[in-house]
Amino acid sequence: MKELSSRNDVSGKELARGRNLKVAAWSAPLILAGIPAAVFLILLFIFGTTPPVAATIFFLGIILTIIGFVSGLIVSGVMAHKHSKWTKEMRERIAARGIRAEEISWFNNELRPNEKRALKGIESSDPMLADAYRETLASRLTATRIVRSSKHELLLTQRRQAKLKYLKSDKSEEFQSQIKRDAKKIGAINDEAKLMLNEAETRLQMIEAAAARGGSLADSEIALKKLSARSAELPLALEEARMAEEIRMELDKESG
């Protein structure tokens, strides 16, 4: 379990790579267009003593600047695509071991508009409630992803069960029983995630109500800790079930 958690943490090196991709995407057009423009401007001042030479340098500078700008746009598009792919990969790795309160900024596009407004308002009025709200948002995001992912894994598992019925193998019955156990485990994870999602959404409503009336949530601290524990345990349980299923698939291919 600890190995899975450490494997899915985002390192400083990976964060630096993401920043570099973002900087490259924004700066490529400016650099590739600015360098030839600056060079030809200097050449124009040094060698442009006569109108024909000055005109030649000027037009060459414009042409190469345009070429540089277009090339910069192409490079920017490539870097932006890589950054988008990197961001998606980092989100999946973070979500695979449970989203934390301080990592919500990675999932802004998954927050509902009313949640964004509520968080902004609570942050300005009560920092302690805002911390609880972010913690619960992290649980809600984690639960939503687990419900969706476990449902998908359950469908895949059922398809594999159907395929195994038509395969003639000495271990087909054993694989069938193992897949049934996995399906039962994934189903239990899905049910637990749905319960966690309902609790998180109820908790969000409680915090919003407390913020509106200027109250506190000291009496709900146990519920928050319960949500936090689930948000840490369920993703790893789902990941382990998925890995076990992949291993069985490989064994099934080898035995087939």
Tell me the per-residue pLDDT of 159-174, one tens digit each, with 9 for 90 and over.
Answer: 877 777 666 666 667 7
92 and 118 belong to one structural domain: no
Q: Is residue 225 part of a domain?
A: yes
% of the chain residues with pLDDT over 90:
6
- The pLDDT, as a whole number, for residue 6 is 42
- The pLDDT, as a whole number, for residue 247 is 54
Determine how many CB atoms are found less than 10 A away from the CB of residue 240.
14
82 and 138 belong to one structural domain: no
Range 93-102 average pLDDT: 81
- The pLDDT, as a whole number, for residue 7 is 44
69 and 156 belong to one structural domain: no
251 and 223 belong to one structural domain: yes
Confirm if 76 and 30 have CB atoms less than 8 A apart: no
Is the pLDDT at 53 greater than 80? The verdict is no
Q: Is the pTM of this model over 0.85?
A: no
When pLDDT is cut at 50, 70 and 90, the band that residue 73 belongs to is very high
- The pLDDT, as a whole number, for residue 56 is 82
Computed over every residue of the chain, the mean pLDDT equals: 77
224 and 190 belong to one structural domain: yes
Token pair in block for residue 227: 């949500």
Q: 101, exposed or middle or buried, with CB in 10 Å at 0-12, 13-18, 19+?
A: middle
Phi–psi pair at 155, nearest 5 degrees: -65, -45
54 and 78 belong to one structural domain: yes
Q: Cα 199 from chain centroid?
A: 23
Q: Is residue 18 part of a domain?
A: yes
Q: Is residue 135 part of a domain?
A: yes
- The pLDDT, as a whole number, for residue 78 is 94
Please state, in angstroms and rounded to a whole number, the distance separating the CA atoms of residues 70 and 241: 48
Q: Last residue of a domain, which of 41, 70, 96?
A: 96
9 and 59 belong to one structural domain: yes
Confirm if 215 and 125 have CB atoms less than 8 A apart: no
Which has the minimum average pLDDT: 102-111, 188-197, 214-223?
A: 214-223
90 and 49 belong to one structural domain: yes
- The pLDDT, as a whole number, for residue 184 is 82
Is the pLDDT at 236 greater than 80? The verdict is no
242 and 209 belong to one structural domain: yes
- The pLDDT, as a whole number, for residue 250 is 56
Determine how many CB atoms are found less than 10 A away from the CB of residue 66.
13
Q: Is residue 105 part of a domain?
A: no
- Of 148, 143, 132, the residue nearest 205 (C-alpha): 132
How many independent structural domains does the chain possess?
A: 2
58 and 132 belong to one structural domain: no
Look at 75 and 150; give whichever has higher pLDDT.
Answer: 75
Q: Last residue of a domain, which of 69, 96, 123?
A: 96
128 and 215 belong to one structural domain: yes
Under DSSP, the state recorded for 11 is: P
176 and 87 belong to one structural domain: no
**Which residues, other chains included, contact 170 with Cβ-Cβ below 8 Å and sequence gap of 6+?**
255
Token pair in block for residue 100: 């934390």
Range 128-141 average pLDDT: 85
Q: Is residue 223 part of a domain?
A: yes
Range of 8's domain? 2-96
